[in-house]
Structure 1
Amino acid sequence: MSWIGKAAASVADFFVWLYAVMAIVPVIPFAVVWLIVYFLKKEKKLATKRAMDVTTLLLIGVVAALYNQVFQSTFGFYLLLLLFLLGFGLIGNLQQRTKGKVDFRKTARAIWRLGFLGLSAAYVLLTAIGITQNLF
């Protein structure tokens, strides 16, 4: 393997390691993003929203992996995808009934932020279950 291939592999390994660390402890990327956005924009509400958006992406991977480990399954990611799609459909249907049209951007944003809340709760619950399973 040439030095370029080795360098590319090292960079890829670093990003895999970085993602793993950030996903395992999602409080860290939440805090980092929140601080960066707050210091740049000086808006707490915007900083919180952006931190939620970034952390949701990380939580999807770690919650799927935790689900797979706790329940000895390979369905975790697909379950999350199904729940996100069902939520999108339900909120889209609600918008259609109340406003007569669906605003896809608002619907996606609402699902993404609700996903943060649900995934955070699932992360805590599945982590506790996983630790308990491994202790006994």
Structure 2
Amino acid sequence: MSRTDAESLLAAYYAAFNAGNPAGMLALVTGDVEHRVNEGGIRRGREKFAEFCAHMGVSYREELRDLVVFASEDGTRGAAEFTVHGEYLQTDPGLPEARGQRYVLPAGAFFDLREGKIARITTFYNLSDWVAQVSA
């Protein structure tokens, strides 16, 4: 995959995210995708990633803005930087109570790309910043 193809793949992934289209996101990941969430465990496989997407769609409404994607020359790795504009809809276990709080959070992600799909997603954000925003 070329750098341009990799950047297009990542842009399509985030376009599906912003459209609230988890099926579109799932179509862009490998069957054995590895999903590493900030300060959390590792989910392996499309089914576990689908469960995560379904949960996120219930608990949060998010739009990613100021998106910039990058890819290696050989198209095997990528990264993205963005700002999450969100609303906390339903309480997530172990986190503050949801009351429709809004938040703005800088974030980023790293990717492994294989055979035209996303094989690894590693997401980073400042959880303490998010907790402070939704607790205020």
Query: After TM superposition, is the score higher than 0.5?
Result: no
| Structure with the largest fraction of strand | 2
Greater helix share, structure number: 1
Give the greater-gyration-radius structure (CA). Answer: 1
For Structure 1 versus Structure 2, the TM-score category normalised by the shorter chain is: under 0.3
Q: RCO higher in 1 or 2 (8 Å CA, sep ≥ 6)?
A: 2
The TM-score normalised by the length of structure 2 is 0.25
Please, what TM-score do these two structures have when normalized by structure 1? 0.25
